[in-house]
Amino acid sequence: MQDEAAVALRRHFGLGAFRTGQAEVISSVVAGRNTVVVMPTGAGKSLCYQLPAMLLPGVTVVVSPLIALMKDQVEQLEARSISATVINSTLTESERSERIRRMRTGAYRLVYVAPERFRSQAFVEALQTVGVALLAVDEAHCISQWGHDFRPDYALLGQVRKKLRPPRTVALTATATPEVREDIVRSLLLKDPAVFVAGFDRPNLFLEVCPVSGDEDKRAACAARVEEGGSGLIYCATRKAAESLHSALKTRGHPVVLYHAGMEEEDRRRAQDRFMSSPNAVAIATNAFGMGIDKADIRFVIHANIPRAVEAYYQEIGRAGRDSGPAHALLLFNHADVFTQERMIEGNHPSEAVISDVWNALVAAGGFEKGLAALAAGVGASEFEVSAALRILEREGLLERTVAGEGAWRLRRLTETDVPARLGKPARAVYEAVTALLAPGEVTSLRLGALASRSGLEEDSVRRALAALDRARLLEVRRPFAGRSIRPLQRVPFHTLGLSLDRVRAQEQRSLLLLKRMTDYAYGRRCRRGFLLRYFGEELAESSCSGCDVCHGRRTTLGQPRPRAPAGKSQVYKSGAAGNDGHYSERAALELRRFRRDLSRDLEVPPFIVFNDKTLRALATALPRNREDFLAVKGTGPTQWERFGPQVVQICQLATAAGPGNAGDEASR
The CATH number assigned to the domain holding 381 equals: 1.10.10.10
Residue 574 maps to a domain: no
CATH number at residue 470: 1.10.10
Neighbours of 193 (CB within 10 A): 20
User: CA–CA separation, 238 vs 233, rounded Å?
Assistant: 15
Q: What is the reported pLDDT for 29? A: 95
* Beta bridge partner(s), residue 464: none
Name the 3-class secondary structure at 577. Answer: coil
Considering the domain architecture, whether residues 214 and 185 belong to the same structural domain is answered as no
Q: What is the reported pLDDT for 232? A: 95
Q: What is the reported pLDDT for 658? A: 62
Residue 565 maps to a domain: no
Name the 3-class secondary structure at 98. Answer: helix
CA distances from 410 to 440, 443, 477 (A): 14, 7, 6
Domain extent, residue 367, equals 349-404+484-510
Q: What is the reported pLDDT for 668? A: 31
CATH number at residue 104: 3.40.50.300
What residues have CB less than 8 Å from 228, skipping those under 6 apart?
none
Tally the domains of the chain: 5
CA within 13 Å, CB half, 493: 3
Q: What is the reported pLDDT for 208? A: 96
Residue 518 maps to a domain: no
Name the 3-class secondary structure at 132. Answer: strand
Considering the domain architecture, whether residues 31 and 64 belong to the same structural domain is answered as yes
Considering the domain architecture, whether residues 193 and 301 belong to the same structural domain is answered as no
Asked whether the whole model's pTM tops 0.85, one would answer: no
* Beta bridge partner(s), residue 475: 413
Considering the domain architecture, whether residues 66 and 38 belong to the same structural domain is answered as yes
Q: Which of 197, 226, 246 is the last residue before a domain boundary? A: 197
Considering the domain architecture, whether residues 218 and 354 belong to the same structural domain is answered as no
Residue 309 maps to a domain: yes
Considering the domain architecture, whether residues 258 and 297 belong to the same structural domain is answered as yes
Considering the domain architecture, whether residues 396 and 462 belong to the same structural domain is answered as no
**What are the helix and strand counts (H, E) for the chain?**
28, 18
Residue 343 maps to a domain: no
Residue 53 maps to a domain: yes
What residues have CB less than 8 Å from 543, skipping those under 6 apart?
none
Q: Dump the DSSP string for 325-376.
A: S-EEEEEEE-HHHHHHHHHHHHHHS--HHHHHHHHHHHHHHTSB-S-HHHHH
Considering the domain architecture, whether residues 248 and 314 belong to the same structural domain is answered as yes
Considering the domain architecture, whether residues 399 and 416 belong to the same structural domain is answered as no
User: CA–CA separation, 342 vs 526, rounded Å?
Assistant: 25
Residue 639 maps to a domain: yes
Residues of the chain below pLDDT 70: 1-2, 42, 147-148, 290-293, 402-408, 480-484, 540-544, 559-582, 602-605, 658-669
Phi and psi at 499, nearest 5°, equal -75, 125
Residue 551, amino acid: C
Q: Where are the beta strands (DSSP E) in 426-527?
A: 443-446, 475-478, 486-488
What is the C-alpha end-to-end distance of the chain, expressed in Å? 66
Considering the domain architecture, whether residues 153 and 186 belong to the same structural domain is answered as yes
Neighbours of 539 (CB within 10 A): 7
Residue 462 maps to a domain: yes
Considering the domain architecture, whether residues 173 and 216 belong to the same structural domain is answered as no
Helix axes 93-104, 121-130, angle to 10 degrees: 20
Q: What is the reported pLDDT for 572? A: 32
Considering the domain architecture, whether residues 635 and 660 belong to the same structural domain is answered as yes
